[in-house]
Structure 1
Amino acid sequence: MNSSSVAEVPDLAATAAPAVELTATVPGRGTTLSPPPPPPPHLFPATAVPATPIYAKLIHVQTRTELNIPPGRVVVHIGKPNDRIPPDIDVAGFPNSEVVSRIHADIRVEGNAHYIEDVGSANGTYINNTALYPGNRHRLEPGDRIALGKGDLVTFIYELTS
């Protein structure tokens, strides 16, 4: 291998913060060293809400009502009014909403995707007629059918908008 085919690696030591060595004397154990400092933040980019928000909506199957998923949020709560976690998407006014829990499901934004997660609802969340177990999540794709509760009584279709 010749030197022209080797990629040049930047000197990370030159960009890192200088190391600080702290010591402590612990009775019966002698001198101990503190853990090394964390790496510079530019080496581990944070995942956050995308610079361009994702615009999406839920279409209520039974009434054809369209509900926009609030853009710019990391978590969107779905349920009925309550005094613990007020819903961002309130389904109390829809027919058969008695099958929906007050704190039913969350839609989470990660990167350029929406994920739905059942947060321990009494009657479950179903994606395309398959149960979504509490704590598990599903990456939403346009056309996915989301049923809140048993019996497909309160159902939405997930769609992207512009």
Structure 2
Amino acid sequence: MIVCPNCNHQNPDGAAQCEACYTPLPATTACPNCGAPVQTDATFCGQCGSNLRPSSPGEVGASTGLDPFPGVPDLMAPDPLVAPDPLVASPQSSMPSSSPDVSAPVAPVPATVVSQPPAQEQASVTPPAASSSTPPASAATSGSSKTQLQQQNARLLHVQTDTMIELPAQLSVIHIGKPNDQIPPDIDVSGFPNSEIVSRIHADIRVEGDAFYIEDVGSANGTYINHNPLPSGNRHRLRTGDRIGLGKGDKMTFLFQLS
């Protein structure tokens, strides 16, 4: 996966731009040790841990036994440090100090007792009663839980025949194409007009949380989003009103809808 440097979204390998914010993604290359895809500016391979940067001259010299910097004289050893002179006690140090003797006992300071006011004189603050118009907490919690459980329903509207197709809610990957022996389609378009331009394994719609992504899986005539070709290996996040074209010529067209 390629992590977007702008929004940290994980994109599939080989993607040229972020599918979430459309930021251009850094170029990738293959690890010379294991062949895993890595970014060109990476220092280590995330798959095998191999060092992707060339060794420094010092490391080359250490491994080969050669001087990495020929012609440069060795540094001279510094002179030894001079030992400091011993400290001599001054005559004033023998004179008695005028400061008070800290070892003399100090009279204890009596503790100050702060008397507490009588209990009956303390003002009691009574919190205001809750308004009867405020809904109970349990009702608010149940209402929010019901809101969180609601799921979006996605549909495809076939433009040429005005036919509505509901996307299966229980599938995380929805295959679009025509009947075949390898990957049977979840959305069969063989009954629509001009279905001959659609490959048997044409495109997939992937569901990730509340987001829907479409990608071309190697079709012969390509997949188009809002009349723009979708490169193979890239994904497009679908939004309400997006126009999906299976094949060239806008002959097999669907409108993506959410409710």
Counterpart code for 1:74: S
Please, which of 84, 90, 96 is the counterpart of residue 188 of structure 2? 90
Greater relative contact order (CA < 8 Å, ≥ 6 in sequence) = 1
Aligned partners of 1:119, 1:135: CA distance in 2, in Å?
7
Aligned partners of 1:74, 1:95: CA distance in 2, in Å?
28
TM-score, with structure 1 as normaliser: 0.67
How far residue 135 of structure 1 moved from its aligned partner, in angstroms, is 1.2
Stretches of structure 1 that go unaligned for 5 or more consecutive residues are 1-49
How far residue 91 of structure 1 moved from its aligned partner, in angstroms, is 0.2
Task: Report SS of the residue matched to 1:98.
Answer: helix
Counterpart code for 1:137: R
Q: 1:125 aligns to what?
A: 223
Q: 1:46 aligns to what?
A: none
Q: Residue by residue, what CA displacement relative to the aligned partner does 1:73-107 show, whole Å, maximum 9, x if unpaired?
A: 11000000001000000000000000000000000
Aligned partners of 2:153, 2:237: CA distance in 1, in Å?
15
Q: 1:56 aligns to what?
A: 154
Task: Report SS of the residue matched to 2:196.
Answer: helix
Counterpart code for 1:118: D
Comparing 65-74 with 138-147, greater Cα deviation is found at 65-74
Alignment RMSD, CA only? Answer: 1.4
Q: 1:79 aligns to what?
A: 177
How far residue 53 of structure 1 moved from its aligned partner, in angstroms, is 4.1
Stretches of structure 2 that go unaligned for 5 or more consecutive residues are 1-147
Q: How does 1:1-162 map to 2 (within 5 A)?
A: 53-161=151-259
Aligned partners of 1:117, 1:54: CA distance in 2, in Å?
20
In the comparison of the two structures, how many residue pairs are matched? 112
How far residue 51 of structure 1 moved from its aligned partner, in angstroms, is 6.4
Aligned partners of 2:152, 2:204: CA distance in 1, in Å?
16
TM-score, with structure 2 as normaliser: 0.42
Counterpart code for 2:256: Y
